[in-house]
Every structure is written in structure tokens, then in C-alpha cells.
Amino acid sequence: MKDQIPPSNAGIGPKHPDLHASKTLRQQVFEYVRAEGRTARADVTRALEISPGSATTLTADLIGAGVLREVEGAARESGRGRPPVALEVVPDAHFVAGIKLSDQQHTAVLTDFAGNICAEAALTVTAGQTNLTQRVDEVETLLTMLLETSGKTRDEIKAMGVGMSGIIDHDEGTSVWSPLLTDSRVHFRDALFARLGIPVEIDNDTNMLAMAELWFGVGRTMSDFAVVTIENGVGMGLVIGNQLYRGMRGMGMELGHTKVQLDGALCRCGKRGCLEAYLADYALSREAATALNMTPDTDQSTQAMLSALYAKAKEGDASAQSIFRRAGRFLSLGLSNVIQLFDPELIILSGERMQYDYLYANEVMTEMQAFALSEGRTPARVEVHAWGDLVWARGATALALSSLTDQLMGAEAWAK
């Protein structure tokens, strides 16, 4: 699956109405319209089980606030008669930015309030850890690039989402630990707001990919699914009941740091036996150095080493094939644990390493099901989505849009 831009009338966000008590009825109406793209008031009435009068009043409020508008003849109810007036989100009402920080290249997206992409940017950086100031500089550079491309001003950006690898406390806005930062317990959200003056939400990058699937991909029609990524690290995002699940302290779903081997291989987090230590880029390149007779301090890049290892495996080299098969077995173990713990409708595999078919070969999927107690049940579906880099940043825009919507639609905002 490639990066795709839905048309403005296709809708964004979960297709199932979110009837959480914490959300006002006005917000539920807005989110239903946004998910449908374009819809009639009568459809809002039926979907949310409210009276026609309530639908008329609430949509009038949203139109008055400039976030919804009427479109003549854009939707038709079942039955005869002329098409009714439809409602849709006003794209230019607000703008948000999404940024994905990575080990070698950061990506950024600017979208309007309807989720349409207005600008894109990418920034190549030096791999490895660096200090907070450097990362904030890079985010500001990306934002400047987006503004120059789109012709927007910083004041027009009402929210920003930032995804990065590591253990991220979303609620506190801190990076507890990240391979991108030299320090731990970094108050990244506060530092970004102090520099940019824009409300910022930060989260683990795999959560951003899960948000991309929930808002723009196959997850729009599902209430429960998991996203597992394999590249510089191993990550997982979990959606339960149309909501991203983070755990009590906002730091759950660290699949890469679950233990699969006592006193096993050293993980970059400093502990041993983590799943990531057998699947991630640095783990495979560590094995590749031995299989390809390379010294650990070789100047060859990790990507080049892995490409060479994969080529050798395809040529029939037994040592290279064994590395991928071993990694595949550990992946099957990790996925079986996901199935056993959460029983998701779908597991989506993504990330750069999904280009290596050994990791999702039939043997891997068969062993995954064998590890899980799935007798008598329909096996969990597994799909590989080969998204490009841009979708991670797009997921970050979903985080920004969600936060901005909560801010705009809350009872306090309408009481002013």
C-alpha cells in the first residue's frame, strides 16, 4: 500500500460513531460528518439516534463556527425526491502539521482541517543520538519548509503532532528514552511549544502509524487491530474500540522490548533478550557482519549490509538464509503473543524490513498460529502494508487533528 490522499469527500477518521460520554453531542455530530466526508442531516439523525431538531441545531452551531458547511446536492438519501443538502468539513477552517522523526530522514506533512495534504517535506539528518536542542532545531526547519511550500504562516498552524521512536509518555509530553536523544526524561513537548508557539502532541512513532491506519487506512472500518513495525526498532500500535491504546502511563505496547530470551542478545535499550535484539536493523546487521565476513566497524551502512545479506539469501547462501529464518521465528513468537493477549481482528505488518519476504513467509505465519491457542477459532488475519515514509507523518497529523477537535468541540470552548 502506497501513500494515498483521499478525496475531500471521502472522509477521514474512524467510520464508527464514537459515543464516549466524554465527548459532547456536538463533537459526535462533527466527527460523524468528518468520517463520512459528506452526509445529510437525516443521516446524522439516524446514525447518532438524535431528533431532527437536535441535528438541525447542532449542525447550525457548527456551521456558524465555520467548521462545517452545506453543499447543494452532494448526497442523496434512499427514496425519491431531489438530493438533500449535504454537510462537509470546511477544509480551510484550520491547518495542522505532522512530523515523524527518524534515524536518518525526518518527514513532515501539512494538512487542512479535512485531512487533505497541503505540503510535504523531508530532512536528511546524521544518524545516531543527539541533544534536545538539535532535534528542536530540526523540527523548526521542517515546519519552515512546510510553510514555504504551502504559503501558510506559523499562526495558521493550530496544532502539531510529532512521532518518534522510543518510550514516549504521551500524557506528560516526555521522551522517557529514545535512540534519537542523548538524554532521558526529556520534556520534548514543552521544548517544542516554547520554540514554536504551537500546541504540540508527541507520541511513539508506531502509534502514529496506527493512527494513520485508523484515520486514513483499513482501520477506519475496524474497532480492534494492531500495527507491528520492523525497521530501526520493533514497534507496536494497538487500537481497541476505535481508540489508540497506550496503557495507564501512556507507555504501553512496547512489543520490541518484550523478552523472548533469558540472558539473550543485547538490545540497544541496554537490556538483554528483547524481541528487537533479534529483528531490528542493528540486530540483522550484526548478524550480517558475521555472515558477510565484515568487521563490526565496517564503513558500510546498515542499509547496504542488509541489502547485501538479502541478496545472498536469495542466491541460496545458507548462512544468510538462516539469519532471516531465525528472525522470522522470533517474529512469529512475538506475533503469537499479540494474538494471545489482545485477539485483534487484524495485524498489520509494516516498516522498511517488510521488503524482506522471509519475515512474512508462509512458514512464519503458520508458526505464529501454532504458537497461539487458536484451535476452533478463525486465525487472526495478517497483512503487509508497504507504506512509504510519508504516512508516519500523516499519522502525526491525525494526532494533531484529534487534539484540536477535542479543544474546539469541548463544552468549555462553546461556553465562552
SS3 for 125-163 is CCCCCECHHHHHHHHHHHHHHHHHHHCCCHHHEEEEEEE
3-class state of residue 114 by DSSP: coil
Q: What mean pLDDT do residues 253-263 have?
A: 90
Judge if 198 and 274 occupy the same domain: no
Look at residue 161 and tell me whether its pLDDT is greater than 90.
Answer: yes
Distance from C-alpha of 251 to C-alpha of 170, rounded to nearest angstrom: 7
Judge if 315 and 206 occupy the same domain: no
Domain interval for residue 68: 25-92
Domain presence at residue 15: no
Q: What mean pLDDT do residues 67-91 have?
A: 75
Judge if 116 and 188 occupy the same domain: yes
| DSSP β-bridge partners for residue 229 | 235, 350
Judge if 265 and 371 occupy the same domain: yes
Domain presence at residue 364: yes
Last residue of a domain, one of 73, 92, 111: 92
Residue written as cell 544518524? Answer: 127
Which candidate, 167, 355, 360, 169, places its Cα nearest to that of 274? 167
Q: Quickly state the pLDDT bin for 109 (edges 50, 70, 90).
A: very high
Residue type for 184, please? S
Last residue of a domain, one of 92, 111, 144: 92
Judge if 379 and 257 occupy the same domain: yes
What is the model's pTM? 0.88
Sort strands 157-164 and 95-100 into parallel, antiparallel or unpaired.
parallel
- Highest mean pLDDT pick, 63-67, 126-130, 341-345: 63-67
Q: Please, are residues 365 and 181 in contact by the beta-carbon 8 Å criterion?
A: no
Quote the strand ranges of 165-276, DSSP E: 167-169, 174-177, 200-204, 224-230, 234-240, 243-245
Cell numbers linked to 178: 529514545
What letters, b where the CB count within 10 A reaches 16 and e where it falls short, cover 68-79?
Answer: beeeeebbeeee
Judge if 190 and 106 occupy the same domain: yes
Judge if 117 and 63 occupy the same domain: no
Q: Please, are residues 71 and 84 in contact by the beta-carbon 8 Å criterion?
A: no
Encode 277-326 in three state secondary structure: HHHCHHHHHHHHHHHCCCCCCCCCCHHHHHHHHHHHHHCCCHHHHHHHHH
Report percent pLDDT > 70 for the chain.
Answer: 90
Look at residue 416 and tell me whether its pLDDT is greater than 60.
Answer: no
Look at residue 213 and tell me whether its pLDDT is greater than 90.
Answer: yes
Q: Work out how many domains the chain is built from and give that number.
A: 3
CATH number of the domain enclosing 269: 3.30.420.40
Cell numbers linked to 17: 460513531
Which candidate, 263, 202, 265, places its Cα nearest to that of 234? 265
Judge if 333 and 410 occupy the same domain: no
Judge if 371 and 247 occupy the same domain: yes
